[in-house]
Amino acid sequence: MFQRKHLLGIEGLKREEIDHILDVADSMVEVSKRSVKKVPALRGKTVVNLFFEPSTRTRISFEVAAKRLSADLINFSGSTSSLSKGESFRDTVLNLEAMHPDIFVVRHGAAGAPDYLTTFSDCSVVNAGDGFHEHPTQALLDALTMRQHKGKLDDLKITIVGDILHSRVARSNIFLLTRYNTRVVLSGPPPLVPEEFINMGVEIEYNLDKAVENSDVVMMLRIQKERQTGSFFPSIREYRKYYQLNKERLKKADKDAIVMHPGPINRGIELMKEIADSERSVILNQVSNGIAVRMAVLYLISGGGDEINN
Ligand code: CP
C-alpha cells in the first residue's frame, strides 16, 4: 500500500497510498489517547529534524511523533549551526549522516532541497516544507481532519482562500484533494491566485462570498510576507475587506462547514479572531492530527510492521 523510502511530496502518490497513510494515522490517533502514549515500532532508529526555516507545529510534532514511536530524535536548527561559518547544505548533511541516523526530516526555503538530499544520502527523507513547492504532511493532516469531521473526502466542496501562489500547503492540498471526486475552489486576490492553477484540476472564484457558498470546508491561508517579493494587494485593510473570513461570509457556507488553517494565524487579517476560536474551527484538531500523520509517515517509510499494537 505504501512502500516508499521517502515522502517528498503528494504529487505522484496514488489515492490508495494516501488512504493507507490516513488509515495508519487513525491507529496512531488511538495510540495518542492511551495512558502510555508510546509504542516500540521505531526502537533503535534515529530521526534527525533538519530545519533550515522556522517552525513551531511541524518541528515539534515530528519530535513528538518520533518519541511516541520510541525513536531517538535529534533537532538541528540552521540558525545555530555551522552554516553560519560557511558550511554548505551538502557538507552539513554528510557530517550528520556520518553519525548514522535513519531518517532526515527536512524543512528548507529552497524548493527541491529534500529531493536533492536523496541524491547523496542513504537515509529516508521526509519533506517538512520546501520553498513554494510542497508540504506533504500538512496536506495529509488536513485530509485526516476533513475525513474525521466529514466522514469522507469525496463529494465535498472545499474552498481554499488566500495566498495560493506562495503556499506549499495549498499545492500539496490541491495534489491530494484532486485524487478524490471532490470540488476544490481557490479564492484570493488575482495576483495571488493565478489562472494557471486551473490546470491542476481546481476552480477559481475571486469573489469570496461566492466561493464560500455551500462549502463543506473553508481553509484559510496566511499572507506569507516572508516569501513575497512584490506588492500583491493594495493594503491589509483592502485584503481584510475582500478576503477575510468573517461571520457574514461563513453563514454562506454549509451550516456544518468546518474552518481550517495550517497556522500560524494572522488573527484579524485572514480570519476573524472569533471564528478562529469558535466551534466551527478545527485548527487545533489539525495540530493534534499532525502528530498522528507524522507517526504514520515515519512508521511506514521505516517498513511498517506489527509492533504498533504492542
Ligand atoms: N503549518 C506549519 O507548517 O506550521 P509551522 O511553520 O509552525 O511548522
pLDDT at 117: 98
**Dihedral angle, C-alpha 268, 221, 16, 1, nearest 10 °:** -90
How far away, in angstroms, is 56 Cα from ligand 1 center?
6
Assess contact for 43 and 163: CB atoms under 8 A.
Answer: no
Q: Give the other-Cβ count within 10 Å of 249's Cβ.
A: 19
pLDDT at 224: 73
Sheet arrangement for strand 46-51:
72-77, 46-51, 103-108, 124-130
CATH of 15-134+287-301, one of 3.40.50.970, 3.50.50.60, 3.40.50.1370, 3.40.50.620: 3.40.50.1370
CA 249 from chain centre, in angstroms, equals: 25
How far away, in angstroms, is 104 Cα from ligand 1 center?
17
Cell (9 digits) for 110: 529552497
Cell (9 digits) for 211: 466561493
How far away, in angstroms, is 53 Cα from ligand 1 center?
10
Pick from 56, 132, 167 the residue to mutate for probing ligand 1's pocket: most ligand atoms within 8 Å of its CB: 56
| Nearest CA residue ID for atom 1, ligand 1 | 262
Listed by start position, the domains of the chain span 15-134+287-301, 136-282
**What CA–CA distances, in Å, run from 281 to 41, 62, 231, 248?**
33, 23, 30, 15
Pick from 53, 58, 261 the residue to mutate for probing ligand 1's pocket: most ligand atoms within 8 Å of its CB: 58
pLDDT at 235: 85
**Ligand 1 atom having least distance to the Cα of 58:** 8
How far away, in angstroms, is 107 Cα from ligand 1 center?
10
**Shared fold status for 15-134+287-301 and 136-282:** yes
CATH entry 3.40.50.1370 includes domain 136-282: yes
How far away, in angstroms, is 306 Cα from ligand 1 center?
31
| Nearest CA residue ID for atom 3, ligand 1 | 58
At residue 141's C-alpha, the angle toward residues 117 and 221, to 5°, is 90
- The per-residue pLDDT for range 204-253, each reduced to its tens digit, is 999 999 999 999 999 999 987 666 666 778 788 899 999 999 999 999 99
Output the tens digit of pLDDT for each of the chain's 310 residues.
889 999 999 999 999 999 999 999 999 999 999 999 999 999 999 999 999 999 999 999 999 999 999 999 999 998 889 998 999 999 999 999 999 999 999 999 999 999 999 999 999 999 999 999 999 999 999 999 999 999 999 999 999 999 999 999 999 999 999 999 999 999 999 999 999 999 999 999 999 999 999 999 999 999 876 666 667 787 888 999 999 999 999 999 999 999 999 999 999 999 999 999 999 999 999 999 999 999 999 999 999 875 565 4
Q: Global pTM? A: 0.96
Assess contact for 45 and 74: CB atoms under 8 A.
Answer: no
Report the pocket of ligand 1 as residue ranges, CB < 6 Å.
55-58, 129, 138, 262-264
